[in-house]
Amino acid sequence: MVESKQPVSHGVSVRNLWMAYADAEERGKTRVILEDVSLDIAEREFVCVLGPSGCGKSTLLRIVAGLEKQSLGTVETSSRPSVVFQEHGVFPWLTAAENIAYPLRLRGMPKAERTDRVNELLGMMGLKDFASYYPGQISGGMRQRVSVARALADDGGVLLMDEPFGALDEQTRVSLQQELLRIWEQTSKAVMFITHSVDEALTLADRVLVMSTRPGRIIEEIKIPFGRPRDILALRRDPVYGEITSRLWELLGKHPQGKSAS
Ligand SMILES: Nc1ncnc2c1ncn2[C@@H]1O[C@H](COP(=O)(O)OP(=O)(O)OP(=O)(O)O)[C@@H](O)[C@H]1O
């Protein structure tokens, strides 16, 4: 085993990462989930990891987050990453404002400063009127807003997101993507965003890393040439958008066992 967490001056650096689990069907055997994965994410860079279901995207994210230990390889991050999951990412016993304040309290930020920062984030995420609501009293889209706001409140330079908008309806998803980009553009965070949606990857990313089915490997890296801020409608009319979409589908199509990307 190689030591997992070491600081890099910025962003994320993964080198020759392998992950194997004990095989549930054959005792004594292991199953390789991630095979020799290497990637870098620079400060201010937004990288989407795109791949079919079960290819190991979440496993990769959990390892980078320090929530799981890899079998082999190294992971370095410039700071302790903040993580947004698809669901269950907020504390149900805390209000929206208290959830967002949580990382600030952990950091020991004084109360007055904390209140200002929380109010600012509530405003940015359109949650001002819901500050004192508990997660059970607000919609799924609003809960994800709280989860994203909490991750953004964390001052660290690395943000990891595991299909954070996957469970939302299309309209809410598109609006949260736009809000995330707007806020992220004002920070210098390195973002690793897991998705199985081609459109989502093209809307958000500076670079897309495409993974194969199990064992998950990075089979292609595609730079997304669109500037920022991005206008979703203009983007979809751009012939280059169509070309990259076809290329990504082609890559995903080589792996028919995966669930279809959208
Ligand atoms: N703790 C574990 N023990 C054994 N196998 C595991 C464990 N965690 C994940 N796996 C297996 O690793 C593989 C990859 O799972 P993972 O959740 O990383 O895929 P994914 O690409 O994120 O899938 P999805 O897009 O469906 O969320 C799956 O076959 C899963 O069953």
Q: How far apart are CA 209 and CA 96, in angstroms?
A: 33
Interatomic CA distance for residues 258 and 127, integer angstroms: 36
DSSP letter for 6, please. E
- Mutational pocket test of ligand 1: of 19, 59, 165, the residue with most ligand atoms within 8 Å of the beta carbon: 59
The token pair at 164 is 């954070």
In DSSP terms, which residues pair with 20 in a beta bridge? 32
Q: Decide: 188 in ligand 1 pocket, CB within 6 A.
A: no
d(CA 56, ligand 1 centre) in Å = 5
Cα-trace Rg, the chain: 19
Burial of 250 (0-12, 13-18, 19+ CB in 10 A): exposed
CATH fold of 1-81+157-262 reads Rossmann fold (3.40.50)
Task: Report how far residue 255's alpha carbon sits from residue 214's, in angstroms, rounded to the nearest whole number.
Answer: 10
Give the pLDDT confidence score for residue 227 in this predicted structure.
Answer: 92
- How many Å lie between the centroid of ligand 1 and the Cα of residue 214? 9
pLDDT of 117 > 70? The answer is yes
Higher pLDDT pick, 260 / 26: 26
Asked whether the predicted pLDDT for residue 175 surpasses 60, the reply is yes
Ligand 1 pocket test, pick from 18, 19, 21, 252 with the greatest ligand atom count within 8 Å of Cβ, gives 21
Is 186's pLDDT higher than 90?
no
Q: Taking a C-beta distance cutoff of 8 angstroms, is the pair 126, 95 a contact? A: no
Name the residue among 135, 133, 125, 121 with its Cα closest to residue 91. Answer: 135
CA angle 147, 152, 154 (to 5 degrees): 105
Q: What is the mean pLDDT of the chain?
A: 88
**Over the stretch 83-113, which tens digit does the pLDDT of each residue have?**
988 877 789 999 999 999 998 888 889 999 9
Cα gap 10→46, rounded to integer Å: 13
| Contact criterion met (CB below 8 Å) for 64 and 160 | yes
Which one, of 181, 211, 178, 179, lies nearest residue 194 by Cα? 211
| pLDDT tens column, 150-173 | 888 887 899 999 999 888 888 888
Q: Nearest residue CA, atom 14 of ligand 1?
A: 56
Q: What is the pLDDT of residue 60?
A: 97
Q: Where exactly are the structural domains of the chain?
A: 1-81+157-262, 90-155
CA of 35 to the centre of ligand 1 (A): 14
Residue closest by Cα to atom 24 of ligand 1: 53
Q: Residues 130-134: what's their mean pLDDT?
A: 95
62 lines ligand 1 (CB under 6 A): no
Confidence of residue 58 (pLDDT cuts 50, 70, 90): very high
